[in-house]
Amino acid sequence: MVIGPRQDRRPTMNDVAARAQVGLRTVSRYVNGMTNINPEMAERIRSAIEELGYRRNLAAASIRPGQTSGVIGLVIGDLANPYWAALARSVESVAAETGLLLTIASSEEDGARHDWVVERLLQQQVDMIIDVAPRTVGRSWSHWSPPLPPVVFVDRPGDLAGADTVLADNRGGTRDAVAALLAGGARRIAFVGDDRALHTMDERYEGYLLAHAQHGVVVDPTLVFETSHSSGQAVDLVARLLREGRADALFAANNRAAVGALLAFRTVGTRLPIIGFDDFEAAPLFDPPLSVVAQDVEAMGRAAVRAGLDRLQGDDGPARVQVLPTTLQLRGSERP
Amino acid sequence: MVIGPRQDRRPTMNDVAARAQVGLRTVSRYVNGMTNINPEMAERIRSAIEELGYRRNLAAASIRPGQTSGVIGLVIGDLANPYWAALARSVESVAAETGLLLTIASSEEDGARHDWVVERLLQQQVDMIIDVAPRTVGRSWSHWSPPLPPVVFVDRPGDLAGADTVLADNRGGTRDAVAALLAGGARRIAFVGDDRALHTMDERYEGYLLAHAQHGVVVDPTLVFETSHSSGQAVDLVARLLREGRADALFAANNRAAVGALLAFRTVGTRLPIIGFDDFEAAPLFDPPLSVVAQDVEAMGRAAVRAGLDRLQGDDGPARVQVLPTTLQLRGSERP
DNA sequence: TTGAAAGCGCTAACAC
DNA sequence: GTGTTAGCGCTTTCAA
């Protein structure tokens, strides 16, 4: 009977050390890419690894305090929304550049689910958490018992002191968009958006007010709608607006609202000048092409990972809030 | 001087056991949700956990052979494509139902990158890998040294014996779509697609041929294009086609090609009957609304996770290949 | 530079 | 049912 590893047991570092006739320590140094290893030993280790089909167990390597898991956790609303998908893509891409893996979890905008996911991510020992605070907020971040990995909030501010934040210039972007509509002659611009309890919505609403103020135009409060959670709700709302003829332009405060407005245009058979917030792939394909305030999602993802990485490397300066500029993409739909 | 845990050391199970005055074993059983625990002890443990802010270290729990990590690995082409995003969403959703986390990695359709990502996922001890084989394939899956976690291929077959596979009915879906175009009177239907070396493309091409054969229509090979990797390439191609007037209908074999065709329609100012493969959010918003062959991505993701979970539970039957039906969504663009 | 040995936080035999 | 103890695969003092 042969003495050796069981059939289905994967080879360990010990097996490699034994086979290569070197100490465990040396194998560890080898797989960790350390220099200063006797070339001859290195070669023995290399071939032992190959022959054995050895694969490092990163879970075991990371149980020691102070060790990193090499995994970033990202909590977003929902991968179905192209905006979150784009953010996730950006984060994944930057993470991969650094050799990190990305675990993505959806909060479905629900506080309880968000908290479960965060807890799970923490248990999994992720190196950092990039968090989009959900619409209905759960327990406060500050209630999580330390030590916590670096936390970075994206898109919306969170409630953890010391956490960095990456936001888009919702206010300025909206102001520019609404200003463009006003410059086109519109005077009764409807704001079709979601609940202003959402930080982004509130900021966009402020931008909407600001543009009006700067142009000396008075806002009609009955043209402000905060109930477009989904495109379906926006459809009904915009259809009604079109029939009533009360508005002469539309600002769609997120991509759901924009899609709903376009559907309503089609249903009712008439349209209004419109600008949306958040770009999406199909926006240029409509007739006329949809103008939007585009966020630099790529840059936001990159900035978030960067911030977390800096913290990981010991940066313990005060929390930073980065507000990234938006771009007004005028494609035609802003005209009557 | 107080003897105790260092400030930044997170409490361990040992700390909990000490504080609750119970054995380590009992704490372990408690956090693992086992029943049959003395209620009084359970309460002591519960409060000790709360007071200490104890959090389980799942990485440590999973280093023992046979233990699971509670993480699924998903390898897709790219989160930027709404098709992959939808698949990822589906997988994440099903995973969460089971208490599993999802690590998503993009292969960028590159074999080498795919292999790196898979290796990393294996090192991370994921419980299963759901894999979309990249366009340019790397090393064979069978070269990975066992034992391997369950592997499930989605969208395209892979090269690992014993791995389950979940595919869409590309052939049947395309046949139905092209048949609809033929039924509408089209006789010169262009196939605008990607390289046929891609399994899905080849199947869609077969469906295209099949529909023609069934209708007794001869295919003109000069109407078959395999160079639409991106929407940009499709734009040029379709624009040329429109100017030449050689085709009287279009089958866009993926959503990139469809988007490109629509852009070309706009540029040239004329259009043709068209049906695309893969549904996307904006498809119904075009004028006319884009008809598509829709895959049930939700079901595909679900089936993939299900298959992997079955394997995890000891199912060692022969590899299963599931081909999920597609749906032809006729919305208007198939008409002249 | 290298090797032996002591842990990391947790699970699972093994006795009680 | 509960406590004790021996590992899991790896990193890291500590000597040599």
Please report, for the domain that includes residue B308, its CATH number.
Answer: 3.40.50.2300
* B66 located within any domain: no
First to last CA, chain A: 87
pLDDT tens track for B261-270: 999 998 999 9
Supply the angle between the helices A255-268 and A231-244 in degrees, to the nearest 10.
50
Is the C-alpha dihedral spanning B270, B274, B278, B280 positive or negative? positive
Which of A58, A85, A88 is facing B123, going by the closest CB pair? A58
pLDDT tens track for B277-286: 999 888 998 8
Which of B57, B71, B92 is facing A106, going by the closest CB pair? B92
User: Which two three-digit tokens encode residue B152?
Assistant: 């499930």
* B120 located within any domain: yes
B123–A9 CB contact, under 8 Å:
no
pLDDT tens track for B149-186: 999 999 999 999 989 999 999 999 999 999 999 999 99
Same domain, B319 and B290: no
CATH number at residue A24: 1.10.260.40
Same domain, B182 and B44: no
The pLDDT score that the predictor gives to residue A1 is 27
Same domain, B131 and B221: no
B286–A285 CB contact, under 8 Å:
yes
Q: What is the DSSP letter of A221?
A: G
Nucleotide C3 C1' to residue A129 CA (A): 39
3-state secondary structure A24-67: HHHHHHHHCCCCCCCHHHHHHHHHHHHHHCCCCCHHHHCCCCCC
- Where is the domain boundary, B5, B28, B56? B56
CB B282 within 8 A of CB B128: no
pLDDT tens track for A59-104: 998 888 888 999 999 999 999 989 999 999 999 999 999 999 999 9
* A219 located within any domain: yes
Same domain, A265 and A125: no
Question: What DSSP string runs through B129-170?
Answer: EEE---SB--S-GGGSPSP---EEEESS--S-TT-EEEEE-H
Res A5 pLDDT > 50 = no
* B336 located within any domain: no
User: What is the Cα gyration radius of chain B?
Assistant: 26
* A20 located within any domain: yes
Q: Which helix (H) or strand (E) holds A234?
A: helix A231-244
Supply the angle between the helices A39-52 and A24-31 in degrees, to the nearest 10.
80
Same domain, A208 and A288: yes
Same domain, A196 and A290: yes
Residues 6+ away with beta carbon under 8 Å from B123: A55, A56, A57, A58
Mean pLDDT of chain B: 92
Nearest 5°: the CA angle B31, B34, B39 is 85
Give the global pTM. Answer: 0.92
When pLDDT is averaged across residues B67-79 and rounded to a whole number, the result is: 95
Same domain, B175 and B276: yes
Res A267 pLDDT > 70 = yes
Q: CA B102, CA A74: separation in Å to the nearest integer? A: 10
The protein residue nearest D13 (Cα–C1') is A25
Nucleotide C7 C1' to residue A25 CA (A): 14
* A86 located within any domain: yes
Q: CA B220, CA B203: separation in Å to the nearest integer? A: 18
* A334 located within any domain: no
Nucleotide D3 C1' to residue B211 CA (A): 72
Please tell me whether any atom of strand D lies within 7 Å of the Cβ of A29: yes
Which of A9, A59, A281 is facing B124, going by the closest CB pair? A59
Same domain, A308 and A251: no
Same domain, A229 and A285: yes
Same domain, A104 and A185: no
Same domain, B224 and B313: no
Please tell me whether any atom of strand C lies within 7 Å of the Cβ of A61: no
Please tell me whether any atom of strand D lies within 7 Å of the Cβ of B22: yes
Q: Count of domains in chain B?
A: 3
Domain that holds residue B29: 13-56
